[in-house]
A and B are shown apart, each in its own frame.
Chain A
Amino acid sequence: MTMNNQGRPTAPGTIEANELPTISGDRGLMHEEPLIFELGRPGMTGVDLPEVQMSEARLGGMRRKGPVGLPGLSEPEVVRHYVRLSQTNYSIDAGLYPLGSCTMKHNPRLNEKMARLPGFADAHPLAPQKTVQGAMEAIAQLMNWLTTLTGMPAVAMSPKAGAHGELCGLLAIRAAIEARGENRKRILVPESAHGTNPATAAFAGFTVDEVPAKGDGHVDADALEAKLGLDVAAIMLTNPNTCGLFEKRIIEIAEHVHRAGAYFYCDGANFNAIAGRVRPGDLGIDAMHINLHKTFSTPHGGGGPGAGPVVLSEALAPFAPLPLLVHDSKGFRLIEDRADLPEGANPFGRMCAFHGQMGMFTRALAYMLSHGADGIRQASEDAVLSANYILASLKDVMSAPFGDGPCMHEALFDDSFLEGTGVTTLDFAKAMIDEGYHPMTMYFPLVVHGAMLIEPTESESRESVDRFIHVLRTMAEEAKAGKTERFGGAPRLAPRRRLDETAAARKPILRWKPKDLPQAAE
């Protein structure tokens, strides 16, 4: 044991910290935090508001009879509670977050600051239009970036996330087909597609017909062509696809689709691989949503909010939903009603109240202005470069189902390298948590057995990627050498061990209830 000159031990000693229970139940910086409902005391509040004289005369006899049941806490207690909760989360700010298909890139704080400018954050959606010209101009500028980068003539801004954008695109397609007096009810969706694609197609009233993938990870273009017919409304294709590959035959596919009288919907979740280098408009696409929370780095926020503007071809542009943003001699103007439509417009309806995710638009616009067209291109290239670097550095110890690449912005592995080791994809991914990493996307795409989809993004330095590669290489080598103790039951060092998801689903407890009330859940 090394000692300093005061006799204080500086080495950690021999006690296994993990085995020594603490008195408080907390473990150092890791706190066991109760639910907010288990804290506080009646009558306390963290917001000072004066009591007011109030008459019941105008409540129409509908005054609330009982309490809501909220706890009472002061501000410091509430702040501590949520700070402690935050400390149990992994985040992109704290480490590499290699979730394939999710695009966990750096979220610049400048964008947060810009979104909070009063002229954006404190603008009311129904304020007189002459008082909100700047907010509308910001939207118009973002629209210009999106249409220019995609090479598409129009964009619908109101969809609130990717899946909502998919719905918007399919409803425009539905309206275009109805305007032609046709009845087409089938949508072709590759089996490798995101779950939202078939779900959206069904949501929009279509039937889903799956197209198989080929052994090389590309959609089977011949099978797709064979499925085209007079009842096919559209195909929904992700490009780059969910295997991290650019669909080589995409222009040919678009031509077949158009010849058959159908439309080409592109899932733009992976636009971040090609932005600034490829214009989807040049590929023959009719509609594509853009996840501003992926490609243009608006924060994922633990699951949202997102924004999913949809770029549209000439054929679909007339059917874009309300509201429409126009610019004329009087300035910017929102067209919110059919009575007021410009020549040729025939909107299919309205996606939501108001005009879309303004708070995400301003963040995305700040991101684009910061990067510039050159920076956006460089970001795409760096994302693709890092993914290929990972693929090249791990393909000898892990197993890449589609050969040597190149891949686009994500590297896909399957679980064949784990065959016979007793280690599953889940074990492998959970063991990454103990190494300080968020797991990669697992078991997706469905067309690859035990899939592991790694997307490093452009935000990682080479040193960071090298360290990540070293950890994964060593893990793979250990698994194959039979050194599997770190895998079974991992993670061991996270705020929680593996959670019992089966029990959660079998007997759902979906809310806190006071102790004296039984959990009514079945």
Chain B
Amino acid sequence: MRYLPLTSDDRAAMLNRIGARDMDALFRDVPKAAVVSRSMFDLPDTQGEIEVERHMSRLAAKTTAAGSLPFFCGAGAYRHHVPASVDHLIQRSEFLTSYTPYQPEIAQGTLQYLFEFQTQVALLTGMEVANASLYDGSTATAEAVLMAQRVTRRPKAILSGGLHPHYAETVETVAALSGEVVRAPVTPGAAEDIAAMIDDKTACVVVQSPDVFGLIRNLKPIAEAAHAKGALLIAVVTEIVSLGLIEPPGAQGADIVAAEGQSIGNAINFGGPYVGLFATREKFLRQMPGRLTGETVDAEGKRGYVLTLSTREQHIRREKATSNICTNSGLCCLAFTIHLSLLGEEGFGRLARTNHAKASALADKLAAVKGVSLATQSFFNEFTIKLPKPAVEVVDALVDKGVIAGVPVSRLLPHDPNVRDLLIVAATETNSDEDCAAFAKALAEVL
């Protein structure tokens, strides 16, 4: 087996030094009833690289890769171009094969990029502090709600109807254990009156902008209403590139920002791994979940970085920790940080403008198809269209024409009879003008 350096001679000599007769002697504490032999596993034996590569490639070939045809799915995962240098750099051994930087003297590389990552996330979201990542946007949102419950000592979380339904379900799963989660009605393409739902038991309101239908929300009045009643505003962003063009949640009064960072540096990966961004106000620092990297000096006075404020964390505080999270999204943070550094102020703004221009042009093209209307009037790179028949059927028919048209709202909200004819469409810099024209043409053909 190519990954195992010990020879049978080595094994014999090592057993001899140990004073064990055979391998079974080392496993003598295992109860007899639990010992199994190789023949009890109906699984294949060792294979070489060629065989494994053949097996995996055959599986991969049974999926239509997004890049192989006009492709317009978003709804929480966005296909962007990742520069080649990003994937090269994150595969450097020193980044890829190192552990959590608990020994800072020999982990400054990881610690410094995490410090850069925290700074970038704080800048993008317009917040004061950010952590060194959580698993993804949905779990970051759930953590934000739990943090709001701790900060306000109130039980209730109000979730906007525009919050991605998977996020809402993730929040419900953990936040309903010790509190109460209320979901506002779904109003595709329009803002609900969420301020009216806030009462003196409300810990937080959770509003996504752009929302799951693509609509850009004005968070400021919601923040004001929440603060007037002693509640926090949690702003959720699933398309972080949008913050290159629209006002960041921090500038609109958000108290916590929970976001998905996948769009920058990371592939869509059939849903993971992604990178959860989490930012808040300085005054809530000690209630934050997750790792934090801080600046300090070493014994010679040189600037350096360490993991800090770990008295919030599970390995120190155990059952009193702010979260149980340990492993986070380290390498995905690195991809995010490198890609954003490559873009810089100029490139990031241009990327955002390109996305909006592409989506606007596509929206015009699709709305010109007979029977199609635009349900989202203000949006970033994703919008919802209303079709004359169920979106699932239309998407299915378009697959046969070589176009992946988007995400039917009924995929996310199967119970809601009012959304069956709605389709969420995303366009990014990866979509060519030809892709968009092909989509409009095929859509006209199937309707």
Genuine A/B complex: yes
B79 and A462 contacting across the interface, CB-CB below 8 Å: no
Other A-B pairs, 8, CB within 8 Å; known A88-B112, A90-B106, A120-B60: A68-B244, A91-B96, A119-B65, A122-B66, A166-B324, A195-B315, A306-B327, A499-B104
Interface flag for A102 (CB, 8 Å): yes
Distance to closest chain A CB from B101 (angstroms):
7
* CB within 8 Å for A59 and B318 given contacts A301-B96, A305-B272, A372-B43: no
A37 and B119 contacting across the interface, CB-CB below 8 Å: yes
B97 and A358 contacting across the interface, CB-CB below 8 Å: no
Residues in chain B near residue A371, CB distance under 8 A: 1, 3, 46
B362-402, CB < 8 A from A: 363, 377-380, 395-396, 399
A137 and B28 contacting across the interface, CB-CB below 8 Å: no
* CB within 8 Å for A198 and B77 given contacts A251-B33, A406-B20: no
In the bound complex, how far is the Cα of B62 from the Cα of A375, in angstroms? Answer: 28
B142-169, CB < 8 A from A: 164, 166-167, 169
Residues in chain B near residue A358, CB distance under 8 A: 269-273
Interface flag for A152 (CB, 8 Å): no
**How many residues of chain A are within 8 Å of chain B by beta carbon?**
209
B93 and A495 contacting across the interface, CB-CB below 8 Å: no
A85 and B414 contacting across the interface, CB-CB below 8 Å: no
A406 and B26 contacting across the interface, CB-CB below 8 Å: yes
A135 and B332 contacting across the interface, CB-CB below 8 Å: no
Interface flag for B196 (CB, 8 Å): no
* CB within 8 Å for A110 and B309 given contacts A89-B98, A128-B396, A373-B38: no
B106 and A460 contacting across the interface, CB-CB below 8 Å: no
Q: Mark B310-327, 1 if CB is under 8 A from A, else 0.
A: 010111111111011111
Distance to closest chain A CB from B174 (angstroms):
7
A199 and B319 contacting across the interface, CB-CB below 8 Å: yes
* CB within 8 Å for A127 and B17 given contacts A163-B314, A167-B324: no
Q: Mark B112-130, 1 if CB is under 8 A from A, else 0.
A: 1101101110111000111
Residues in chain A near residue B343, CB distance under 8 A: 45-47, 70
Residues in chain B near residue A350, CB distance under 8 A: 166, 169-170, 172-173
B56 and A73 contacting across the interface, CB-CB below 8 Å: no
Interface flag for A508 (CB, 8 Å): yes
In the bound complex, how far is the Cα of B247 from the Cα of A322, in angstroms? Answer: 34
* CB within 8 Å for A63 and B63 given contacts A72-B345, A388-B26: no
* CB within 8 Å for A123 and B309 given contacts A406-B29, A499-B296: no
Interface flag for A226 (CB, 8 Å): no
Residues in chain B near residue A392, CB distance under 8 A: 17-19
Distance to closest chain A CB from B324 (angstroms):
4
**How many residues of chain B are within 8 Å of chain A by beta carbon?**
208
B414 and A340 contacting across the interface, CB-CB below 8 Å: yes
A61-110, CB < 8 A from B: 61-65, 67-73, 75, 78-79, 81-83, 85-94, 97, 99, 102, 104, 106-108, 110
The residue that A337 contacts in the complex, of B297, B334, B348, B415, with Cβ under 8 A, is B415
Question: Across the two chains, which residue of chain B brings its CB closest to A187?
Answer: B319
B105 and A497 contacting across the interface, CB-CB below 8 Å: yes
B292-350, CB < 8 A from A: 292-300, 302, 304-306, 308-309, 311, 313-321, 323-332, 334, 337-338, 340-350
Among the 9-residue stretches A6-14, A202-210, A310-318, the one with 4 or more Cβ atoms under 8 Å from chain B is A202-210
The residue that B271 contacts in the complex, of A162, A348, A353, A378, with Cβ under 8 A, is A353
15 pairs, A vs B, C-beta closer than 8 Å:
A60-B215, A113-B53, A122-B79, A138-B60, A163-B324, A196-B314, A301-B96, A353-B271, A355-B271, A355-B272, A359-B272, A385-B23, A386-B6, A499-B297, A499-B304
Distance to closest chain B CB from A290 (angstroms):
13
Interface flag for A470 (CB, 8 Å): no
Residues in chain B near residue A133, CB distance under 8 A: 62-63
Residues in chain A near residue B356, CB distance under 8 A: 54, 58-59
Distance to closest chain B CB from A253 (angstroms):
11
Q: Mark A373-397, 1 if CB is under 8 A from B, else 0.
A: 1110111011011101101110000
The residue that B378 contacts in the complex, of A60, A337, A339, A462, with Cβ under 8 A, is A60
In the bound complex, how far is the Cα of B270 from the Cα of A433, in angstroms? Answer: 40
In the bound complex, how far is the Cα of B118 from the Cα of A343, in angstroms? Answer: 46
Distance to closest chain B CB from A417 (angstroms):
20
Among the 9-residue stretches B132-140, B197-205, B222-230, B437-445, the one with 4 or more Cβ atoms under 8 Å from chain A is B132-140
Interface flag for A509 (CB, 8 Å): yes
Interface flag for B25 (CB, 8 Å): yes
The residue that B323 contacts in the complex, of A89, A107, A203, with Cβ under 8 A, is A203
Residues in chain A near residue B104, CB distance under 8 A: 496, 499, 501
Interface flag for B404 (CB, 8 Å): yes
* CB within 8 Å for A67 and B345 given contacts A89-B94, A91-B93: yes
Distance to closest chain A CB from B172 (angstroms):
6
B101 and A302 contacting across the interface, CB-CB below 8 Å: yes
Residues in chain A near residue B319, CB distance under 8 A: 198-199, 201-202, 208
